């Protein structure tokens, strides 16, 4: 059978192996395995989330609230943006997919960093768009700007802090950069790890509100999969001008978020203490790892 030619250049995304599979394949005990492949949170999610999800187990026969009112209200309060400036996705991954389907096609280009989150390229290829990559390892916004002038991409991705390198871009430079981009180019700021930047380094911390108040062409992405420890619930969000959100909404399948995931995200958002302590522990471990690496003997 012949399929759409766009598929020819797409490699199937290889997800990190689940622990059960490593146990089966290598005969290693589960307690001896440390899973790093998908950047999941080793401290899990708030115990309050687990309780809340259990308590609504009887709601499974009904479709979820498709207006997602409660979570939008929570995010709106948290970020100081309007509810109609928010879209919820089955992971922020799904919002990336909506954005590329809304804004790119086989005649357009998508500009991304040399090393960055794999799904930008995969979703760009779904719609046949050409992917342009920078050369620099870390985001070099001068190089981004040069490539923007040369290629006139319809979508630009900035991933900060970046997956998989952990590097983050100076917040002021991000804004200076976006100010130079024409308003018909969609700039996607992927803040999947932004909670960590807010904790660690104010110069690298961006908020969706400051971005969308200043720029009509920015889509900010956030997720519950990392700092909130809810990777298994598949829930993330996009924040942008009402105009952008309305366009993305046309691509959203009905009931794209389960009742359990919506409840989990609402409760997770309210337990900020848990999230902050989980972030703090991650940095303690990171500092410990860096210390031992710097003191390791090299032969």
Query: What residue ranges bind ligand PLP (CB under 6 A)?
Result: 39, 91-93, 117, 159, 163, 190, 192, 223, 225-226, 231, 236
Nearer to ligand PLP, 117 or 215 (CB): 117
Cβ within 8 Å of residue 113, ≥6 positions away: 133, 134, 136, 138, 139, 144, 157, 158, 159, 162
Nearer to ligand PLP, 137 or 152 (CB): 137
Question: CB of 225: closest distance to ligand PLP in angstroms?
Answer: 3
Question: CB of 192: closest distance to ligand PLP in angstroms?
Answer: 3
Nearer to ligand PLP, 153 or 231 (CB): 231
Q: β-pairing, 155-159 with 130-133?
A: unpaired
DSSP state of 225: S
Question: CB of 222: closest distance to ligand PLP in angstroms?
Answer: 8
Question: CB of 163: closest distance to ligand PLP in angstroms?
Answer: 4
Query: Following DSSP, what letter does each residue of 111-174 receive, concatenated?
Result: EE-SS--HHHHHHHHHTTPEEEE-SSSS--HHHHHHHHHHH--SEEEEESSPTTT-----HHHH
Question: CB of 52: closest distance to ligand PLP in angstroms?
Answer: 19
Q: Are 208 and 174 in contact (CB under 8 A)?
A: no
Nearer to ligand PLP, 217 or 225 (CB): 225
Nearer to ligand PLP, 159 or 266 (CB): 159
State how far the Cα of 108 lies from the Cα of 259, in Å rounded to an integer: 37
Nearer to ligand PLP, 92 or 241 (CB): 92
Q: Which residue has the tokens 């410990």?
A: 288
Neighbours of 31 (CB within 10 A): 7
Query: Following DSSP, what letter does each residue of 232-260 receive, concatenated?
Result: GG--EEEEE-HHHHHHHHTTPPTT-S-HH
State how far the Cα of 100 lies from the Cα of 104, in Å rounded to an integer: 5
First to last CA, the chain: 55
Question: CB of 157: closest distance to ligand PLP in angstroms?
Answer: 9
The residue of the chain with the least Cβ separation from ligand PLP equals 91
Question: CB of 292: closest distance to ligand PLP in angstroms?
Answer: 25
Nearer to ligand PLP, 117 or 196 (CB): 117
Q: Which residues are bridge partners to 235 per DSSP?
A: none
């Amino acid at each position: 059978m012949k399929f759409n030619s766009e598929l020819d250049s797409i490699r199937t995304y290889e997800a990190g192996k689940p622990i059960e599979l490593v146990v089966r394949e290598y005969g290693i005990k589960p307690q001896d395995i440390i899973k790093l492949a998908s950047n999941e949170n080793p401290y899990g999610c708030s115990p309050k989330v687990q309780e809340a999800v259990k308590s609504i187990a009887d709601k499974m026969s009904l479709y979820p609230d498709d207006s997602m009112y409660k979570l939008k209200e929570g995010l709106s309060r948290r970020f100081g943006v309007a509810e109609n400036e928010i879209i919820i996705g089955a992971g922020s991954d799904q919002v990336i997919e909506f954005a590329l389907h809304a804004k790119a096609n086989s005649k357009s280009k998508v500009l991304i960093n040399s090393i960055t989150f794999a799904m930008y390229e995969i979703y760009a290829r779904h719609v046949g768009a050409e992917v342009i990559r920078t050369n620099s390892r870390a985001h070099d916004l001068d190089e981004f700007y040069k490539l923007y002038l040369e290629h006139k991409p319809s979508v630009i991705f900035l991933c900060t802090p970046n997956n998989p390198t952990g590097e983050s871009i100076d917040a002021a430079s991000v804004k200076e950069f976006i100010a130079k981009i024409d308003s018909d180019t969609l700039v996607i700021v992927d803040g999947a790890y932004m909670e960590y930047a807010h904790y660690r380094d104010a110069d690298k911390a961006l908020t969706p509100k400051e971005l969308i108040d200043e720029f009509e062409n920015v889509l900010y992405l956030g997720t519950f999969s990392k700092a909130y420890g809810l990777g298994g619930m598949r829930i993330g969000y996009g924040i942008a001008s009402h105009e952008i959100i309305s366009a993305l909404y046309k691509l959203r399948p009905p009931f794209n978020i389960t009742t359990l995931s919506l409840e989990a995200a609402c409760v997770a958002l309210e337990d900020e203490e848990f999230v902050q302590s989980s972030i703090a522990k991650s940095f303690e471990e990171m500092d410990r790892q860096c210390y031992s690496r710097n003191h390791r003997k090299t032969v």
